[in-house]
Amino acid sequence: MSNPINHHYVSQCQIRNFFNKEAGKIFLYDKIQHNHFNSTSTKKIFSERHLNSRSKDGIIDTFSLEADLNSSVESSFTKNFNILLEAVTTEIIPPDIKNVVIGLLKYGIAGEIRTPKHKKDTDESIKNAFDILLDNAIPELKQSLDGAFANLRLTPYSNLLEYSDFVETVFESIGDVNFILYVINSDQFFLLPDRPSLTRRERINDHYNPDAKEIAVVQVPLSSKMFLHCESVKFRKFKSRFVELSDLNQTVIDDINKNLYFNANQLVACENEQYLTSLIKKFN
């Protein structure tokens, strides 16, 4: 694995599934700037310099968190996607389909904490906690806290949490899952937002706090034609299945894309330029 400083918050293996190979482009829309544009590469979109870098003892580490992400969820994405694609194509469901889905589910779980927005919000919480401690700290403790916070400022984000630890903790909380794989069989397309997945929190475990909610639903746009919806059986039980969507299912496709569009932080991507343009007009 190389050691780049440009880190993706949506993995290139996922972005490539929305890339128009015939046109040699992927088409994007900026919700804030109200701007349509395209890219001829997946290398620079949905990425940021030093996104996953962190510092320790004054040394910037650009590699370890990227390696943790890759080994825990990224490296298996394409393999698992291809198994699902073959199952859709041949209509033969492999016996290990649940393990394949769980691998993609875990990729989606990791997506919850990968985006710049989430990292910024997390660091704001850390800074607020530091400020409270500093206001009440004795001089010796204040000096120590100042040093610790200065170390965190060496990189754009603190990145204190390992992706693998977060994924396993959330997956344990979710428990067993049902899934629906939506497959478009028409000249329509799924969008890809500037986040790898969407999540929904519900009360699925017993806590002392009755208002505590945890991730119960994970949705992953896998490609222009495939969208994975997973739910904890503790939230809702149903029969896992593949669902084929044609032009007769326009409302379902629009609902999925609308959810992807409005939950994007700033950008959405699509394989087809005309289709993206028509959706933006429809949603706005």
Residue 1, domain member (yes or no): no
The backbone torsions φ and ψ at residue 136, rounded to the nearest 5 degrees and listed phi first, read: -115, 10
Give me the domain span that covers residue 157: 6-283
**Contact between residue 226 and residue 18 where contact means Cβ atoms under 8 Å apart:** no
Residue 85 lies in a domain: yes
Establish if 79 belongs to a structural domain.
yes
Residue 39 reports pLDDT greater than 80 = yes
CB 273 within 8 A of CB 38: yes
Look up the pTM and report it. Answer: 0.93
pLDDT confidence of 146, banded at 50, 70, 90? low
User: Contact 80/104 with Cβ under 8 angstroms?
Assistant: yes
* Of 49-63, 125-139, 265-279, highest mean pLDDT: 265-279
| Stretch among 56-60, 65-69, 117-121, 240-244 having the lowest mean pLDDT | 56-60
Q: Is 142 contained in some domain?
A: yes
Q: Compute the CA torsion angle 233, 237, 238, 242 (nearest 10 deg).
A: -20
Give the residue among 11, 12, 20, 14 at the shortest CA–CA distance from 40: 20
Determine, yes or no, domain membership for 24: yes
Please identify which residue in the block is written with the tokens 């087809």: 272
Q: Is the pLDDT of residue 58 over 90?
A: no
Q: Is 14 inside any structural domain?
A: yes
Inside any domain, residue 230: yes
Number of domains in the chain: 1
What confidence score (pLDDT) does residue 154 get?
A: 87
Can you tell me the mean pLDDT for 211-233?
A: 97
